[in-house]
């Protein structure tokens, strides 16, 4: 193998001929390759994109569709012309500010009276508070229940004794001391009890019975709806 390599080194190589040393010919204009497809960039499409994306605040896809180009083409323009796209973004931001200010003016005009009333309530002179009406001194519910029991559970012909009053107070859990103080404080309370018992007595003498829990109305006063239940 080494002998073969050594012998090949000694063999002279043929010199290239003149025909082989000629320079490669330049391609003609007819066979020259073109520079790809023509660009779709035009003033008309740029105006459409500016109006749709910058003023109408729509998406890039909607702007590309309105201009008749693909979405990737618009992305290529954004990468190739960053200054143009920055100006487009600035127009879009300015449009958003204008619309926000217009919406705020519309909201203020719509709620002007409401805001004025609210400001008047917060910062204006506060109206004077009405004083609560003084509460009328009146018997408690337990006292009224004791009167009701004395009226309806003691026979009209019988006199009300101290034991009857004690039983009524014990039934409604009213202290005897409070009941004594209530009779002194509200004298009209026992007068109403005596008046009702007198009406019940007259009704019982006329009709032969007096229903428990019902008192005939006063003369000249319109009877309640329960009157028909007891008189039928």
pLDDT recorded at residue 224: 61
Radius of gyration of the chain (CA): 55
Give the residue ranges of DSSP H helices in 71-209.
71-80, 82-110, 112-123, 141-152, 162-171, 176-185, 187-207
pLDDT recorded at residue 160: 92
Q: Which long-range contacts (CB under 8 A, 24 or more apart) does 158-167 make?
A: 160/193
pLDDT recorded at residue 40: 84
pLDDT at 22 over 80: no
Distance CA 196, CA 189 (A): 11
More confident residue, 231 or 51: 51
* Contact of 92 with 57, CB cutoff 8 Å: yes
**Which DSSP category does 151 fall into?**
H
For residue 216, give the nearest of 228, 187, 191, 139 by alpha carbon. 228
Distance CA 66, CA 52 (A): 8
Of 45-54, 78-87, 96-105, 214-223, give the lowest mean pLDDT range: 214-223
Q: What value does the mean pLDDT take over residues 136-151?
A: 90
**Confidence class of residue 36 from pLDDT cuts 50, 70 and 90?**
low
pLDDT at 137 over 50: yes
Q: Is the torsion defined by CA of 149, 153, 155, 159 positive or negative? A: negative
**Sole residue written with tokens 């499409």:** 45
Q: What value does the mean pLDDT take over residues 201-224?
A: 79
């Amino acid at each position: 193998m080494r002998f073969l390599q050594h012998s090949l080194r000694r063999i002279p190589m043929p010199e290239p001929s003149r025909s082989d040393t000629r320079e490669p010919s330049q391609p003609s204009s007819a066979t020259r390759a073109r520079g790809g497809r023509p660009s779709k960039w035009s003033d008309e499409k740029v105006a459409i994109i500016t109006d749709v994306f910058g003023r109408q605040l729509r998406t890039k896809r909607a702007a590309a569709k309105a201009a008749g180009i693909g979405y990737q083409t618009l992305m290529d323009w954004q990468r190739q012309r960053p200054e143009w796209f920055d100006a487009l973004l600035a127009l879009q931001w300015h449009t958003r500010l204008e619309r926000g200010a217009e919406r705020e003016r519309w909201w203020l005009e719509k709620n002007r009276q409401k805001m004025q009333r609210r400001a008047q309530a917060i910062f204006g002179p506060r109206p004077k508070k009405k004083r609560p009406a003084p509460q009328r001194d009146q018997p408690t519910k337990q006292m009224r229940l004791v009167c009701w029991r004395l009226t309806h559970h003691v026979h009209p012909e019988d006199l009300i004794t101290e034991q009857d009053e004690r039983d009524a107070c014990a039934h409604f859990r009213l202290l005897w001391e409070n009941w004594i103080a209530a009779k002194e404080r509200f004298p009209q309370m026992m007068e109403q009890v005596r008046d009702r018992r007198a009406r019940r007595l007259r009704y019982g003498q006329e009709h032969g019975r007096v229903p428990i829990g019902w008192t005939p109305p006063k003369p000249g006063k319109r009877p309640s709806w329960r009157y028909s239940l007891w008189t039928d």
